[in-house]
Amino acid sequence: MESKQIKRLYRDGNRWTTRNPNESVESDLPVLPYNGSSGWSGTDTSEERAKENDTYGKTAQAQAFVYRYLLWHQANGGTWKEIADASGYHHGTISGALSVLHKEGKIARLTERRNRCRVYVHPAYINERDTDSQGRKPKECPNCGHHL
């Protein structure tokens, strides 16, 4: 008698898959796209916090929390404030995790807002809504629209 291996199924947006969405990304964490760092806002306190978090694993934990939060909340997604409130992490930690995960394409930022904050979702839950690209937008000339 031939034995069949039973595979676990996972929900991925509107379809089922045998790929565990948590394992595929979390095994790649932390994402450190800025010369081996998660980056910082430019202040000395932000730089100090980023380096400490990268070194002692808090960056990986925060990124994993953000990713799992967005998977759990599906199409509703979450704002930095909602995720920070749920996790207890500092604004800078959550904002940094959202930025690097977005930069690497592991999450998406919608153009819609909730409570004056941008909404982030797992890419499987974009559902044809408009998204933003990551990073600073080039300044445009107010007269002709060319990039300055």
Q: In total, how many domains does the chain have?
A: 1
H/E stretch holding 131: strand 131-132
Put simply, whether the predicted model's pTM sits higher than 0.85 gets the answer no
Which residue range(s) make up the domain with 91?
Answer: 10-132
Residue 142 in any domain: the answer is no
> CATH number for the domain including 24?
1.10.10.10
Residue 148 in any domain: the answer is no
Residue 4 in any domain: the answer is no
pLDDT band of residue 133 (cuts 50, 70, 90) is: confident
Burial (CB count within 10 angstroms: exposed 0-12, middle 13-18, buried 19+), residue 49: buried
Residue 141 in any domain: the answer is no
Contact 69, 88 (CB under 8 A): no
Give 93-111 pLDDT, tens digit per residue.
899 899 999 998 999 999 9
The 3-state DSSP class for residue 61 equals helix
Residue 74 in any domain: the answer is yes
Residue 15 in any domain: the answer is yes
Q: How far is CA 33 from CA 61, 97, 102, in A?
A: 16, 11, 11
Residue 5 in any domain: the answer is no
Give 51-89 pLDDT, tens digit per residue.
888 888 888 999 999 999 999 999 999 999 999 999 999
CA dist., res. 43 & res. 5, Å (int): 53
Residue 46 in any domain: the answer is yes
